[in-house]
């Protein structure tokens, strides 16, 4: 296999890491919604926590994405 | 058609002297598009607040109301996370939020996105990391180690927990920088890729032009999403700064 | 990474349609390439300028803008607080006045009630005495009348015997033609009674 082709395959594989982040962020927002519909009065106060959790989870996906770009462009 | 990475290229502008550093390194102070974007972003923030606060009235005007809205939003957020001592760190959090937000937003108006430069986000993250560390040592002295030794953990668990805590502490600036960088980079690359679809399809003839409507709608939708991301990433940067500051400021007594 | 690259890259070479993405630009730039973000020769300038800009922004924020906004917010909070306090004071005053008025009304009502009760009591007492007087007078008259009636009855009852004796004597004389002595008649009448 050519090295160039292996690089593209590797970059594609690296972005698989975003799947996990996607699932995680989906879980966070889904659970927030189900909690918020049960107790809408408490939902507003948890917005910061929601964003915080989503950001921390998303960081790992972004890490995979950046890694993919690094492989692709190096 | 240019590569989607073309937009992140540094284009040199006004030439300024290069400052040599010991160790063979040199810092080129020439203005380029990234630096211009930063200057414009900071200038916009300063101009906005100069206008908004030039004639402060108890009954605010429209511009002052906007400024006060942003101010109260971040102030409440910081006070909610750090507690009563948030006022000391508020100027830092507030200027960080506004600067990042301004740079993110500027990138969506056909200008250069300074926050898509790893050097910029890395520096911002490092400033925050250094501030957190300095505040931590100034506040707690040697008992800063408690940050890595959670209270009430059995000793055999500490063997596992402490290295993890130390690693995660030093990974904070990395994730802080990469999150902002990756979000901006990814969003703008996706925008350019979709815009590239429009161009390639439209150059195929009549059928292609009709087909190009779809990616064009995608670009519009992505642009609105990018506005949300631009705000959210600035907010997340501010929130995480507050959380890290709270960790060292209220070490030992949680609230 | 891209340190050896020439600073003045004239942008990516326009590429074919399918080569628009991915690393074609890299390949065409001739080795190295990489993300524009990793062209480290531009890092120093960006970092220095960023520190400078952020420092200026921070100083302006902490020295000028935030104190101004804090001041106006504090002033507003003070204004609102003093207005609320003033309103509360006025409200309290009004409440006090209302309470005083109510107390006055209550007092007046109590006084009126007392006066009315007194008047009623006086009237009652007068009425009672007058009634008692009347009762006493009536009772006296009744007693007097009764005494008189009793006297009349007694005298009438006393004269009934005489009448009976006379009548009996007269009847006996008319029937028998003989006069009967008064003593006999009396005895006979008594026996018949």
Question: pLDDT by residue (tens digit) across C58-87?
Answer: 999 999 999 988 888 888 889 999 999 999
Rounded distance between C-alpha atoms, residue C150 and residue C141, angstroms: 14
Establish if C6 belongs to a structural domain.
no
- Residues 10 through 29 of chain B touching chain C, CB cutoff 8 Å: 10, 12, 21, 25-29
Q: What is the pLDDT of residue C161?
A: 77
Across B62-66, B232-236, C4-8, C44-48, least confident range: C4-8
Please identify among residues 74-133 of chain B the ones whose CB lies closer than 8 Å to any CB of chain C. 90-92, 94-96, 98-99, 116-120, 123-124, 127
Cβ atoms of residues A51 and B229 within 8 Å: no
Contacts of A63 in chain B (CB under 8 A): 175, 178, 182
Q: Which of A8, A70, A74 is the closest to C22 by Cβ?
A: A8
C170 is in which domain, residue-wise?
A: 162-192
Whether the CB of B60 is below 8 Å from some CB of chain C: the reply is: yes
Span of B155-159, C27-31, C147-151 with lowest mean pLDDT: C27-31
Highest averaged pLDDT of the listed ranges B88-102, B134-148, B149-163? B88-102
pLDDT tens for residues C111-155? 999 999 999 999 999 999 998 999 899 999 999 999 999 899 888
Task: Assess if residue C84 is contained within a domain.
Answer: no
Beta-ladder partners of B18: B28
Number of domains in chain C: 1
CB contact under 8 A, A52 and B178: no
Token pair recorded at residue C175:
């029937």
Q: Is the pLDDT of residue B67 over 50?
A: yes
Written as six digits, the tokens of A38 are 């049960």
Residue that the structure tokens 């008649």 belong to: C185
Q: Who wins on pLDDT, B18 or B107?
A: B107
- pLDDT at position C193 is 62
Nearest CA in chain C to B93: C58
Over the stretch B77-135, which tens digit does the pLDDT of each residue have? 999 899 888 888 999 999 999 999 999 999 999 788 999 999 999 999 999 999 999 99
What are the tens digits of pLDDT across the range B197-225?
Answer: 998 998 888 888 888 899 999 999 999 99
β-pair partners for B20: B26
Q: Within a domain: residue C41?
A: no
Long-range contacts of the stretch B33-36 (C-beta < 8 A, 24+): B33/B112, B34/B10, B34/B112, B34/B114, B34/B117, B34/B119, B34/B120, B34/C42, B34/C46, B35/B114, B35/C45, B35/C46, B35/C49, B36/B112
The reply to whether C113 falls in a domain is no
pLDDT reported for residue C7: 42
Residue C114 to residues B84, C123, C124, C127: CA-CA distances in angstroms?
A: 63, 14, 15, 19
Per-residue pLDDT band at B1 (split at 50, 70, 90): low
Q: Which residues of C touch B46 (CB under 8 A)?
A: 57, 60
The answer on pLDDT for C1 being more than 80 is no
Q: Is B110 exposed, middle or buried (0-12, 13-18, 19+ CB in 10 A)?
A: exposed
Residues of C in contact with B26 (CB under 8 A): 44
**Residue C87 to chain A, least CA–CA distance (Å):** 31
pLDDT confidence of residue B140: 85
Chain C positions contacting chain A at CB under 8 Å are 1, 22-23, 26-27, 33-35
Query: What's the pLDDT at C188?
Result: 77
Is the Cβ of B95 closer than 8 Å to some Cβ of chain A? no
Contacts of C27 in chain A (CB under 8 A): 4
Mean pLDDT of chain C: 80
Q: Is the distance from CB of C54 to CB of B35 less than 8 angstroms? A: no
Contact of A62 with B121, CB cutoff 8 Å: no
Residue range A3-73 forms a domain whose CATH class is mainly alpha
Nearest CB to A74; choose among C1, C22, C27? C1
Q: Greater confidence, C95 or C28?
A: C95
Q: Which residues are CB-contacts of B212 (< 8 A; sequence separation ≥ 6)?
A: B197, B198, B201, B202
């Amino acid at each position: 296999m050519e090295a160039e082709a292996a690089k593209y395959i590797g970059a594609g594989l690296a972005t698989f890491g975003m799947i996990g982040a996607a699932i995680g962020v989906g879980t966070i927002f889904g659970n927030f919604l189900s909690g918020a519909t049960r107790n809408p009065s408490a939902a507003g106060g948890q917005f910061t926590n929601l964003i915080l959790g989503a950001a921390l989870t998303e960081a790992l996906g972004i890490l995979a994405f950046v890694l993919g770009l690094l492989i692709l462009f190096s | 058609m240019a590569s989607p990475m073309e937009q992140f290229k540094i284009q040199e502008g006004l030439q300024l002297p290069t400052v040599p550093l010991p160790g063979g390194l040199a810092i080129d102070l020439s203005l380029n598009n990234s630096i211009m974007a930063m200057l414009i972003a900071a200038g916009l923030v300063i101009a906005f607040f100069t206008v908004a606060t030039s004639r402060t009235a108890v009954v605010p005007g429209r511009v002052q109301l906007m400024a006060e809205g942003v101010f109260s939003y971040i102030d409440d957020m910081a006070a909610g996370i750090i507690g009563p001592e948030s006022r000391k760190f508020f100027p830092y959090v507030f200027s960080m939020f506004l600067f990042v937000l301004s740079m993110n937003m500027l990138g969506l108006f056909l200008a250069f996105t300074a926050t898509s430069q790893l050097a910029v986000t890395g520096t911002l993250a490092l400033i925050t990391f250094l501030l957190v560390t300095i505040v931590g040592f100034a506040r707690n002295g040697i008992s800063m180690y408690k940050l890595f030794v959670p209270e009430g953990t059995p000793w055999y668990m500490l063997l596992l927990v402490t290295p993890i805590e130390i690693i995660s502490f030093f990974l904070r600036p990395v994730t802080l920088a990469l999150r902002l960088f990756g979000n901006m980079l990814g969003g703008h690359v996706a925008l350019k890729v979709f815009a590239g679809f429009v161009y390639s399809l439209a150059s195929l003839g009549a059928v292609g032009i009709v087909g190009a409507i779809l990616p064009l709608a995608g670009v519009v939708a992505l642009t609105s999403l990018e506005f949300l991301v631009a705000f959210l990433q600035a907010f997340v940067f501010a929130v995480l700064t507050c959380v890290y500051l709270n960790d060292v400021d209220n070490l030992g007594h949680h609230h | 990474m891209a340190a050896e690259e020439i600073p003045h890259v004239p942008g990516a070479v326009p590429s074919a349609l399918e080569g628009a993405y991915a690393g074609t630009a890299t390949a065409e730039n001739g080795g190295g390439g990489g993300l524009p973000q990793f062209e480290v020769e531009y890092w120093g300038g960006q970092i220095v300028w960023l520190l400078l800009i952020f420092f200026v922004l921070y100083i302006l924020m902490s020295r000028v803008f935030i104190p101004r906004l804090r001041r106006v917010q504090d002033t507003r909070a003070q204004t609102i607080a003093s207005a609320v306090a003033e309103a509360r004071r006025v409200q309290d005053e009004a409440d006090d006045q209302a309470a005083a008025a109510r107390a006055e009304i209550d007092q007046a009502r109590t006084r009126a009630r007392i006066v009315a009760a007194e008047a009623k009591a006086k009237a009652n007492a007068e009425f009672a005495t007058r009634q008692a007087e009347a009762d006493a007078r009536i009772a006296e008259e009744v007693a007097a009348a009764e005494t008189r009636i009793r006297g009349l009855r007694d005298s009438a009852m006393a004269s009934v015997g005489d009448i009976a004796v006379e009548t009996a004597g007269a009847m006996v004389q008319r029937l028998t033609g003989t006069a009967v002595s008064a003593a006999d008649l009396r005895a006979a009448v008594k026996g018949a009674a």
